[in-house]
Amino acid sequence: MNRKELIDWLIENGDAVIQYRTATELAEDKSEFNISSLRTHLMKTQMAHYWMKCLKDKRRLNYIHGSYDYCFENAMGKLIFMGIKAGFNKLEDSSKSYVKWLKESLESESDEPIENPVDFFYQNLIASFLSASGFKDIEPVAGFNRARIKTIYDFTKNNNFSIFVDKANYKGISSAFDAHSLVDPELYTDGIFKLPWVHDLLTFSAFYKEFPKEIDHIISYILNEKYQQLPDGYGIVMAGIKRYTVLGWNVWLPGYNGFDIDEFHKQNLILRMILMSPFKVARNSKWYKACLKHLKQFKQKNGTYLFPKEYLKEKNNSYFITGSHMGLGENRKGKDGLTLESTFWMLKLLAN
């Protein structure tokens, strides 16, 4: 089957998510489909009902960041991958509370002598997922993300990869952190973290047309071998006087040094490719081309794709950003469930 035939096959055989996303994102002529009917069908599914229910307005931070399905980052991420974004009334209603949370968080003043970069991490998390969900132009989301892009660009434009300092010069670091390096406090003055987090890729995609030069440079910084040699999950940061905490989520790229990788890195491969695919400099990179070549080996005789199940993990109460929610609602116990999902994701990667 050629691309057009594969798209028709996805529409004819896929369930609600694949039907909707294929019609709205892959099909060349969207007028061939009743988009309104597909949207209605999507929102009536048990899957949509469950993840919308998970997107609750809670005032505790552990409802924003964490591994549980009810955490904002996982519920919103899953809804994005289901194609449920701005324009869906239920999502628009739910998103208002998180816009309000971000506004109140930014306006609050801290009495701490050292600003905790973890607070900024939560703000950034909400702003990045909201921008990817189609709410990029709402304040304070827009202003926060524009400032975030400038902050990262201003740091990365000098191609500085020396981000750690000698822990011996700092007091109060627990032996529990012996395996972690200390990120230079100069990189989060006033709590504003200058290094890119993987969540920032969501923001970059939403603002790419506005800041192509800056974002392309940041992506080039991420693709640099020196950056990819940094430990998975940067290290520890100062979170107060003699207080430290691990603050990770750097943009490591599975397959960068080959595909003899463990299951955890395999489950991250396609997600990281999807997050990097909007950027031309990423698509032209040696890493991205090698990943595409690797995935093409799973092409079947009829033109569909069938990835190993560990490449498209779906597991409750796991982090979206680590590729744990790649399922698109197909019955994987059925004959074509995994094939439908594999083929959709491959066509998305090839579309760019």
In order along its 352 residues, the chain shows pLDDT tens digits of: 999 999 999 999 999 999 999 999 999 988 889 999 999 999 999 999 999 999 976 667 889 999 999 999 999 999 999 999 999 999 999 999 999 999 999 998 776 767 899 999 999 999 999 999 999 999 999 999 999 999 999 999 999 999 999 999 999 999 999 999 999 999 999 999 999 999 999 999 999 999 999 999 999 999 999 999 999 899 999 998 889 999 989 999 999 999 999 999 999 999 999 999 999 999 999 999 999 999 999 999 999 999 999 999 999 999 999 999 999 999 998 889 999 999 999 999 998 7
Residue 133 lies in a domain: no
Residue 330 lies in a domain: yes
User: Containing domain of residue 308, as a range?
Assistant: 1-14+264-352
Please report the pLDDT score of residue 30 as a whole number. Answer: 85
Residue 239 lies in a domain: no
Residue 319 lies in a domain: yes
Number of domains comprising the chain: 1
Helices (H), the chain: 3-13, 16-21, 35-43, 46-54, 72-81, 89-107, 117-130, 141-156, 200-206, 212-223, 225-228, 263-276, 280-283, 286-296, 337-351
Phi-psi region of 83 (alpha: psi -120 to 50; beta: other; left: phi over 0): left
Residue 318 lies in a domain: yes
Please report the pLDDT score of residue 185 as a whole number. Answer: 96
CB 232 within 8 A of CB 243: no
Residue 136 lies in a domain: no
Residue 300 lies in a domain: yes
Residue 341 lies in a domain: yes
How far, in Å, are 162, 233, 234, 273, 324 from residue 198 at the CA level?
A: 19, 10, 11, 12, 15
Full DSSP string of 114-162: S--HHHHHHHHHHHHHHIIIIITTSTTHHHHHHHHHHHHHHHHTTT---
Q: Could you give the CA distance from residue 307 to residue 291 in angstroms, rounded to a whole number?
A: 13
